[in-house]
A = this chain, B = another copy of it.
Amino acid sequence: MAPPHSFSGIIPYLVTPLTEDERIHAAELARICEHLIGQGVHGLTPLGSTGEGPYLLEADQCTVVQAVVEASGGRVPVVPAVFSRSVKGAIRQAQAFERLGADGIVLTLDSYFPIPQPAVKHYFETVASATGLPIILYTNPHFQKVDLGIELIAELSHNPKFVGLKDASGNTGRLLSIADRCRPGFGIYAASAHLAVSVMLLGGQGLFAGPACVLARENVRLYALCQAGQWTQAMALQKVLWRFSEAFASYNLAACTKAALEHQGFAPGQPMAPQPPLTAEVKRRIGEILDRVQQQAAAIGVQ
């Protein structure tokens, strides 16, 4: 395993398998982790948006982290997402995950009221000082009201506790500006399947995303092509893989990822209510698209 403060490559956002009465299905989660490690992924992130982290009660979040840490058994780093509105809540989660054996956290600030950048900074720094784990900053302006500004990210990057940034803005200009300002060695990670190649071309370290949970082998291959400087081939593969993510746009992210895993033989269950379950028809379509994308990826060299 890489030293815990260095994350790179393809790190899938895991789903959270649920039983019919909405309890954590830890055994199925372990099966999915085993499968992904077999496909060559470089880390595992439970409790992200794909993993419905923001919908889970704290006790359930701990059950999830424990299951993933045990399933990995130290083979790849486990980097759960921490998502909280209060400093107090974030510290509780971070410390609980540290005790359970996590190798790092992806730290997000959720917010009810908008707050100014100094308060955002206070959140990240106070949580960092309360845990020994390396932290990946995460900001998603599409789902959160609080954003990490470019200057604040640059400033935080000089605190060695913060080892990288997963930026879901989808804004390549913002990424160029951030890459230009952060300390050398600070990681930049793609958050979306359509940006993976661009992020790696500009010096990024990898991809944290839900679709890698379903197209793990293909994403590992994409990463290898980027590492080898084969940019045209990497882009050709990304174009194919994007057809899968594209199909998600009209549906709930967790529901789609669960449907795709079901098509691959797993039993992740439904998304947590009130997120609506998919119809059998939609699930069938997702399965078809997944099969086609995997065939197309195979046709250009990924098997």
Q: Interface on A for B, CB 8 Å cutoff?
A: 22, 49, 54-57, 85-89, 92, 109, 112-113, 115-116, 118-120, 122-123, 126, 143, 145, 170-173, 175-177, 179-180, 192-195, 197-198, 201-202, 229, 231-232, 235, 238-239, 242-243, 245-246, 252-254, 272-276
Q: Is the CB of A176 within 8 A of B194?
A: yes
25 A-B contact pairs sorted by A residue (CB < 8 Å): A22-B88, A54-B85, A55-B89, A55-B112, A56-B86, A57-B92, A86-B274, A88-B272, A88-B273, A112-B143, A115-B276, A119-B273, A126-B274, A143-B145, A170-B171, A170-B172, A171-B194, A173-B246, A176-B239, A180-B239, A198-B198, A201-B201, A201-B231, A201-B235, A229-B232
**Cross-interface CB contact of A172 among B119, B177, B195, cutoff 8 Å:** B195
CB contacts (< 8 Å) of A195 on chain B: these are 172-173
Chain B residues closer than 8 Å to A89, beta-carbon distance: 55, 57
Grouping DSSP codes into helix (H, G, I), strand (E, B) and loop, the A interface class, with mixed when no group exceeds half, is: helix
* Contact yes or no, B273 A126, CB < 8 A: yes
Contact of A272 among B86, B145, B245, B274 (CB under 8 A): B86
* Interchain nearest-CB distance for A170 vs B (Å): 6
Copy tally for this chain in the complex stands at: 4
Which residues of chain B come closer than 8 Å to A173, judged between CB atoms? 170, 192-195, 242, 245-246
Smallest Cβ-Cβ distance to A175: which chain B residue: B194
Bound form: Cα–Cα A275–B110 in Å: 12
Cβ of A113 and Cβ of B275 under 8 Å apart? yes
Q: How far is the CA of A123 from the CA of B272 in the complex (A)?
A: 11
Q: In the complex, are the beta carbons of B55 and A176 less than 8 A apart?
A: no
| Among B112, B176, B242, contact of A176 (Cβ-Cβ < 8 Å) | B242
Contact A273 B86 (CB under 8 A): yes
- B residues near A193, Cβ cutoff 8 Å: 173
Q: Once bound together, how far apart are the Cα atoms of A56 and B272, in whole Å?
A: 22
The 10 lowest CB-CB distance pairs between A and B, nearest first, are A173-B194, A123-B274, A87-B273, A54-B112, A231-B231, A119-B274, A198-B198, A119-B276, A176-B242, A55-B86
**A239/B274 in contact, CB under 8 A:** no
Residues of chain B lying within 8 A (CB to CB) of residue A202:
235, 239
Q: Are A88 and B57 in contact (CB under 8 A)?
A: yes
CB distance from A120 to the nearest CB of B (A): 7
State in angstroms the CA–CA spacing of A229 and B235 once bound together.
Answer: 12
Residues of B within 8 A of A56 (CB): 86
- List B contacts of A113 (CB < 8 A): 49, 143, 252-254, 275
Q: Which residues does chain B contribute within 8 Å of A116, judged by CB atoms?
A: 276
Distance between Cα atoms of A245 and B170 in the complex (Å): 18
Known: A176-B194, A197-B201. A274 touches B54 (CB 8 A): no
